Structure 1
């Protein structure tokens, strides 16, 4: 295996689907992940709301970004597990991206490349 075999799967999903996504990742052998609360917009429509009598538009929706770096299992398996677990069939289910990782370093041990993942 070479360092080019390291990939990062990045998914933007609904916050309420995170528990199912974590279970799905563990089931395919990819339990390590980073989760960040994010907001954004895509095809999900904006919502109009009122606060203290003033109407406003909410066009940035709360999402969760899940990042998972893999070297020993196929990134496609990880992406498919996320897609299956995050799917509701509604607009706003999210997106998944697979990116190559040029290099990896493990701070504690000094390992690099695939050994660091």
Structure 2
């Protein structure tokens, strides 16, 4: 495909809009990762778990959980489900307003007080 055809094809595929610059996509991804991580942290702290205890219950490394909470890791669907199960919630709890109904640790975890 010639360059002008490729450009027209890209414009048509976006409803006539020019392709977004890569930097905007990167900033959007980071913003989404940070928002997701903040939700994970809020739920974890609400139920009173440390990162270490959550990681152990989810079968993940503590450093990985810390990176997710800080928005430095793009979490996989499998890891998201593991965190949700460990927090005794559904993955949709990681999206939307801050949790207010979650008040105690999941029944299957002998909770440690959140210290981080």
Q: TM-score scaled to structure 1, two decimals?
A: 0.32
Q: Which has the higher contact order (CA 8 A, sep 6+)?
A: 1
Q: Identify, as 1 or 2, the structure richer in helix.
A: 2
Q: TM-score scaled to structure 2, two decimals?
A: 0.32
Query: Which structure is larger by alpha-carbon Rg, 1 or 2?
Result: 2
Q: Identify, as 1 or 2, the structure richer in strand.
A: 1
